[in-house]
Amino acid sequence: MTQSRSKQVSLQDTRYYHLISRCVRRAYLCGEDAYSKQSYEHRRQWMVDRIRFLTSLFSIDVAAYAVMSNHYHLVVYVDESEAMAWSDEEVCERWQKLYHNHPLVERLQKGQSSCQAEIDKANEIINKWRMRLADLSWLMRNLNEYIARKANQEDNCKGRFWEGRFKSQALLDEKAVLACMAYVDLNPIRAKMADSVQSAQYTSIFERIHDKASFIDNKAQFPFIVKPLLGFIGNEHQQSPKGISFSLLDYLTLVEETGKIIREDKGGHLNTQTFPLLQQLGLNSEDWLQLAQHFGKQYHQAVGTVTELSTFAAHTSKRWISGHRQQADIFQ
């Protein structure tokens, strides 16, 4: 039985989540359809622009992404505290970039509320909007519905474009977050869509390498400040409220070398002493390569140590998390 999203997300355990949506009916999100020979390459920019637009409105940051031929990946950080710091006026302004205003809220904004009960109800609606602007389901709804309508219009057809609900995977510690980010960034390499991370367009690692966020076209379409990707803050994490507590250079170097091994389709090895990040994570070469290639297929629901998985299961009303035995050796 499908579980409600509230039983798959626990912000008290982690604010990092890996999200995946896949197309149906032989539909192509992007790339060239080998069956019809039609190119949908331009849709990749649709995805990136929509992600940037939505994250400028939501209190959710993107740590990694990859737009593939028939699916996409996001690694996100949910920042509830950002949403709580917004004024009621800012919440309304953000929400109304996506939906029409509510009559009671409109009356409140114009000072036309007739009684205290009406004011209370309007404030209740605003608080609901605030929570939704920090909610993964509402982010993905606004992303997937927009792309589905646009793609169906271009294809001159109706019906579902996405394969059911999006999948979410809780990343319970820094090791899981970084391994998942590498897995996402290396998607085009594994799929043989790119020869290196430097040429793997429409991925977060390509954006970080080439600083693509500095060259956003049509900035006027974004109602609020366009957020960059969630930053690597190295050892400054105690002074910074959020960010990935590793070195960006170490990450880029490790993922680039991992990509070379994956691309060559043969067994490879990374010298742990050469890559400080592996030492920080406490991973050997074999475990890291296993994660970088099979993270999304071998682990489900949540990823972390056995203790973290047990706590997450308790907070999401589960008896256990599937795959915990496979994780025990690597995430410890």
Q: What is the pLDDT of residue 215?
A: 47
222 pLDDT above the threshold of 70: no
> Average pLDDT in the 268-276 region?
81
Rounded Cα distance between 37 and 136, Å, is 35
Work out the mean pLDDT of the chain and round it to a whole number: 87
Rounded Cα distance between 104 and 88, Å, is 14
129 pLDDT above the threshold of 90: yes
Structure tokens at 324: 């915990």
Measured from the Cβ of residue 153, the count of other Cβ atoms closer than 10 Å reads: 10
Cβ-Cβ contacts under 8 Å for 303 (sequence gap 6 or more)? 169, 170, 171, 172, 176, 179, 180, 295, 327, 331
Q: What is the pLDDT of residue 214?
A: 47
pLDDT digits (tens, 9 = 90+) for 15-39: 999 999 998 866 777 777 767 677 8
Q: At what angle do helices 174-185 and 285-298 cross, to 10 degrees?
A: 80
pLDDT digits (tens, 9 = 90+) for 133-192: 999 999 999 999 999 999 889 888 888 889 888 999 999 999 999 999 999 999 999 988
Domains detected in the chain:
12-79+134-328 (3.30.70.1290), 86-132 (no CATH)
Rounded Cα distance between 67 and 212, Å, is 15
Q: Residue 12: in which H helix or E strand, if any?
A: none
Question: What pTM, to 2 d.p., does this model score?
Answer: 0.91
Q: What is the pLDDT of residue 74?
A: 98
Structure tokens at 60: 């959710």
> Average pLDDT in the 248-263 region?
92
pLDDT digits (tens, 9 = 90+) for 273-329: 789 899 888 888 888 988 888 887 777 788 888 888 888 888 888 777 766 666 767
Q: Residue 219: in which H helix or E strand, if any?
A: none
Asked whether the beta carbons of 44 and 212 are under 8 A apart, the reply is no
The secondary structure of residue 218, as a DSSP letter, is: -
Cα 147 vs. chain centroid, distance in angstroms?
16
